[in-house]
């Protein structure tokens, strides 16, 4: 009868020892997972800027940013050239011509719907869209939101850089003369979207919600922006808006 307490005590110590071993093992495993997670997070963060074009700087002329967060309330200074009764920055005349020539060779004639727009021109565009939304019966609040979702406020449109063009396949434009996202139903518009980076252009306003939150503009299947060949290739490969690309360049010290 006197041996049972000793045996119970021994088993108690053995059980306690097992618990301590399990706790130590669990602690080690959790610590290892934490280090692994941090390592993956760091790797993910550095991957964003891996392979950035080495000679690219945020200050490069082709990367000038004009949007609601970075408005230009005065006209930018650059040389303009007239193309199909529209004006663009002279420096993009050749890549734009090559882009359209290639589209034509593929069987898709195009129309340059819009190029450079002054701040005054943008003010008129904004007013016209606002008036149309009002005629459609929207409330003042709805009108403001609907207009700003598709048109940049005066001073915030990159059309005033001369580097942005509204370019459409003739067949797509014939069906959607006021320019609509559904233009991408046409093979001509899909060709333009797919091949734009080969000529230094990117589709500026992408269809996903993340991109739209960064640009503040809904999907536009016709709005192309010249950023240069290397930049266009990188941005398209990594599905980046110009806003995000410039943030990555700054993070990599390429300001």
pLDDT score of 148: 87
- pLDDT confidence bin for 159, thresholds 50/70/90: very high
Residue 43 within any structural domain of the chain: no
Residue 37 belongs to a domain: no
Question: 35 in a domain, yes or no?
Answer: no
pLDDT score at 221: 98
Q: Is 192 exposed, middle or buried (0-12, 13-18, 19+ CB in 10 A)?
A: buried
**Which value, in Å, is the radius of gyration of the alpha carbons in the chain?**
28
163 and 225 Cβ atoms separated by less than 8 Å:
yes
Q: Which residues contact 123 (CB under 8 A, 6 or more apart)?
A: 154
* Mean pLDDT within 214-225: 95
Please say whether the beta carbons of 125 and 162 come within 8 A.
no
**8 occurs within a structural domain:** no
- Stretch 158-181: mean pLDDT, rounded? 97
Instruction: Assign residue 213 the CATH number of its domain.
Output: 3.30.1380.10
Q: Residue 2's pLDDT band (boundaries 50, 70, 90)?
A: very low
- State the catalytic residues: 220
Highest mean pLDDT among 6-15, 35-44, 132-141: 132-141
Distance CA 159, CA 138 (A): 27
Q: Round to whole Å and give the CA distance between 73 and 9.
A: 84
The per-residue pLDDT for 18 is 53
Share of the chain above pLDDT 70, in %: 81
Average pLDDT of the chain, as a whole number? 87
Establish if 186 belongs to a structural domain: yes
How far is it, in rounded angstroms, from Cα 140 to Cα 200?
Answer: 39
pLDDT digits (tens, 9 = 90+) for 78-102: 999 999 999 999 999 999 999 999 9
| Within a domain: 31 | no
pLDDT digits (tens, 9 = 90+) for 53-82: 999 999 999 999 999 999 999 999 999 999
What confidence tens digit (pLDDT) does each residue in 36-48 have? 444 433 333 334 5
| Domain-located, residue 188 | yes
Question: What is the number of domains present in the chain?
Answer: 1
Confidence at residue 11, expressed as pLDDT on a 0 to 100 scale: 55
Q: What is the DSSP track for 29-59?
A: HHHHHHHHHHHHHHHHHHHTTTT--TT--TT
Is residue 192 one of the residues assigned to a domain?
A: yes
Would the pLDDT of 223 be above 80? Answer: yes
Distance CA 255, CA 253 (A): 6
CA gap 245, 242 in Å, rounded: 5
Burial status of residue 78 (CB atoms within 10 A of its CB: 0-12, 13-18, 19 or more):
middle
Beta strands in 33-150 (DSSP E): 80-83, 86-89, 110-114
- pLDDT of residue 137 exceeding 90: yes
How many whole angstroms separate alpha carbon 27 and alpha carbon 190? 54
Q: Which domain holds residue 89?
A: 61-251
pLDDT for the residue 151? 84
């Amino acid at each position: 009868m006197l041996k049972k307490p000793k045996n119970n005590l021994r088993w108690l110590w053995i059980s306690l020892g097992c618990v301590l071993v399990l706790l130590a093992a669990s602690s080690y495993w959790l610590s290892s997972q934490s280090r692994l997670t941090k390592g993956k997070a760091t790797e993910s963060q550095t991957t964003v800027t891996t392979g950035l074009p080495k000679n690219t700087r945020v200050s490069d002329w082709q990367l000038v940013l004009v949007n609601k967060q970075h408005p230009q309330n005065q006209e930018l200074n650059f040389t303009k050239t007239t193309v199909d009764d529209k004006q663009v920055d002279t420096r993009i005349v050749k890549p734009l011509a090559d882009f359209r020539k290639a589209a034509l060779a593929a069987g898709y004639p195009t129309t340059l719907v819009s190029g450079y727009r002054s701040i005054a021109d943008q003010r008129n565009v904004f007013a016209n869209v606002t008036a149309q939304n009002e005629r459609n019966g929207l409330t003042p609040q709805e009108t403001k939101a609907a207009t700003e979702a598709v048109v940049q406020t005066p001073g915030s449109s990159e059309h005033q850089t001369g580097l942005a063009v509204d370019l459409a396949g003739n067949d797509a434009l014939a069906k959607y003369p006021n320019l609509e996202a559904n233009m991408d139903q046409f093979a001509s518009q899909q060709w333009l979207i797919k091949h734009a980076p080969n000529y230094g252009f990117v589709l500026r306003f992408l269809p996903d919600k993340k991109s739209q939150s960064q640009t503040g503009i809904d999907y536009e299947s016709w709005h192309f922006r010249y950023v240069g060949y290397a930049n266009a290739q990188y941005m398209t490969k990594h599905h980046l808006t110009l806003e995000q690309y410039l943030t990555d360049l700054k993070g990599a010290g390429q300001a």
